[in-house]
């Protein structure tokens, strides 16, 4: 159940605008899980380098519970934003928000009933400056807040609960993650809006992010202690030389880095932390471009040719193996007659063999896991658009 209420008020003085609102959400949760034994069915190959084809359940242990709880989750937030023009062509915006997540729980494993509250007041400030008709600039700072996941809170700590003989303990001490985000950017427009360009530089740091840390007994512990950094540039351009053609180009260059990210407390593990490493499956370069053609000789026909780029990225967390990324092409065509539109799309036009994602464990002899993408795909359809307005 969710509710949202918002009010907007405008004032003549300095073109002021005030927006305030509140939202509320209630979500009941009932969750349980227990230990099962799995058998890995391997694909043919050299021993020690085989990949897993599937898993088979060979035993269930319903008496060895991992979690068994009910929870009522109440999410609420109040926010306000104030914008005004201190000078012509300059808009300043200041806002704040208060988030509160309350969890009333009944945990059957430790026979406890209680309440946990995760709350945070966040702030943002920004400015937009448009000194001339063909260019504009902006900058802003904002804070973020992300409570820990419910399943993380009610997971039993290693060495407790089950058949250990030690009373079950849980992660009631996890903290919310905090984020600080900085962004500056702008736009340009030339040749009577035929050529447009926009850009944005961003920098974000995260703290108290959830860590899965390997302990000396090979169990896994949760801790709110991770720090990460994300920075990059986003850009886009469009050119419309005539009514028949439109050319669009967009892309990003980004770096996602572990700053303080511990993996293991086990002394014999070769990898203790990921400090300074790039995140896996995070390409530095991504791009999307399209050329569209709307012929004058058939006004209701539309055609387009699209190019998608995903650059290389690391498969593993320790930055040993890279995936080359991929380039794919798509084509689209459609024709509209009155309210009826007939269309056809060809995705992966060249029938390229590639993977959406490639991952690999941090061990020396680990084999990559590929998530294969679809081959050349044809999509045909017909749709009817109607309006009840007279």
pLDDT, tens digit (0-9, with 9 covering 90-100), for 28-86: 999 998 889 998 888 887 776 677 778 889 999 888 888 899 999 999 999 999 999 99
Q: Spell out the domain ranges in the chain.
A: 2-31+65-384
Residues 6+ apart with CB under 8 A from 273: 258, 260, 261, 262, 263, 264
Mean pLDDT of 234-262: 95
Mean pLDDT of 129-133: 94
At 48, phi and psi to the nearest 5?
90, -15
How many percent of the chain have pLDDT more than 90? 65
How confident is the model over 205-226, as pLDDT tens digits? 999 998 888 777 777 788 888 9
In the prediction, which pLDDT does 54 show? 83
- How many H-runs (helices) and E-runs (strands) does the chain carry? 1, 19
How many percent of the chain have pLDDT more than 70? 98
In the prediction, which pLDDT does 378 show? 97
Q: Which residue has the higher pLDDT, 152 or 289?
A: 289
Residue 182, both tokens: 């900085």
Residue 269, both tokens: 């593990």
pLDDT exceeds cutoff 70 at 284: yes
Q: How far apart are CA 241 and CA 293, in angstroms?
A: 11
Mean pLDDT of 362-389: 86
Residues 6+ apart with CB under 8 A from 334: 301, 302, 303, 341, 342, 343, 344
Tell me if 249 sits within 8 A of 238, measured CB to CB.
yes
Q: Highest mean pLDDT: which of 94-98, 149-153, 211-215?
A: 94-98
350 alpha-carbon distance from chain centroid: 29
| Burial status of residue 161 (CB atoms within 10 A of its CB: 0-12, 13-18, 19 or more) | buried
In the prediction, which pLDDT does 155 show? 84
Please report, in angstroms and rounded to a whole number, the separation of the first and last CA atoms in the chain. Answer: 35
What b-and-e string marks burial along 267-296, b requiring 16 or more CB atoms within 10 Å of the CB? Answer: eeeeeeebeebbbbbebeebbebbebebee
CATH code reported for the domain at 2-31+65-384: 2.40.170.20
Mean pLDDT of all residues belonging to the chain: 91
Distances in Å between the alpha carbon of 315 and those of 48, 212, 281, 353, 360? 19, 19, 6, 18, 5
In the prediction, which pLDDT does 390 show? 57
| Burial status of residue 48 (CB atoms within 10 A of its CB: 0-12, 13-18, 19 or more) | exposed
Residues 6+ apart with CB under 8 A from 121: 96, 97, 98
**Long-range contact set of residues 275-280: C-beta below 8 Å, sequence gap at least 24:** 277/317, 277/318, 277/319, 278/313, 278/314, 278/319, 279/228, 279/314, 279/317, 280/313, 280/314, 280/315, 280/316, 280/317, 280/359, 280/360
Mean pLDDT of 145-165: 83
- Among 111-115, 119-123, 330-334, 344-348, the minimum mean pLDDT is found in 111-115
Residues 6+ apart with CB under 8 A from 229: 203, 204, 205, 206, 255, 256, 257, 259
How confident is the model over 307-363, as pLDDT tens digits? 999 999 999 999 999 999 999 999 999 999 888 999 999 999 999 999 989 988 887
pTM for this structure?
0.84
In the prediction, which pLDDT does 48 show? 65
């Amino acid at each position: 159940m969710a509710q949202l209420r918002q009010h907007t008020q405008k004032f003549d003085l300095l073109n002021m605008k005030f927006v305030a609102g509140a939202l509320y959400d209630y979500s009941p949760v009932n969750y349980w899980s227990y230990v099962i034994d799995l058998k890995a069915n391997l694909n043919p190959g050299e021993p020690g380098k085989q990949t897993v084809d599937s898993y088979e359940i060979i035993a269930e242990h319903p008496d060895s519970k991992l979690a068994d709880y009910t929870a009522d989750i109440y999410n609420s937030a109040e926010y306000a934003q104030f914008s005004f023009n201190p000078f012509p062509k300059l808009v300043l915006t200041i806002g704040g928000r208060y988030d509160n997540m309350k969890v009333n729980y009944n945990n059957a494993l430790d026979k406890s009933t209680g309440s946990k509250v995760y709350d945070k007041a966040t702030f943002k400030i920004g400015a937009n400056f448009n000194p001339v008709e063909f260019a504009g600039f902006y900058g802003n700072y904002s804070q973020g807040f992300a409570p820990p996941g419910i399943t993380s809170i009610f997971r039993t700590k290693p060495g407790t609960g089950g058949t250990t003989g030690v009373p079950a303990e849980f992660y009631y001490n996890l903290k919310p993650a905090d984020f600080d985000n900085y962004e500056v950017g702008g736009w340009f427009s030339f040749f009577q809006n035929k050529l447009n360009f926009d850009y944005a530089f961003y920098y974000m740091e995260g703290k108290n992010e959830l860590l899965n840390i390997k302990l000396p007994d090979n169990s896994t512990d949760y801790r709110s202690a991770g720090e990460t950094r994300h920075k990059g540039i986003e850009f886009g351009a469009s050119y419309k030389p005539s009514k028949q053609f439109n050319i669009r180009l967009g892309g990003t260059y980004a770096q996602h880095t572990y700053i303080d990210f511990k993996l293991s407390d086990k002394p014999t593990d070769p990898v203790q932390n990921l400090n300074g490493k790039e995140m896996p499956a995070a390409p530095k370069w991504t791009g999307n471009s399209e050329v569209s053609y709307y012929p004058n000789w058939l006004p209701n026909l539309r055609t387009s040719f699209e190019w998608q780029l995903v650059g290389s990225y690391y498969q593993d967390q320790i930055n040993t193996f890279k995936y080359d990324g991929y380039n794919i092409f798509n084509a689209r065509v459609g024709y509209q007659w009155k309210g009826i539109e007939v269309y056809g799309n060809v995705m992966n036009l060249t029938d390229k063999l590639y993977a959406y994602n490639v991952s690999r464990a941090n061990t020396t002899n680990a084999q990559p896991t590929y998530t294969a993408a679809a081959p050349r795909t044809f999509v045909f359809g017909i749709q009817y658009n109607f309006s009840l307005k007279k």
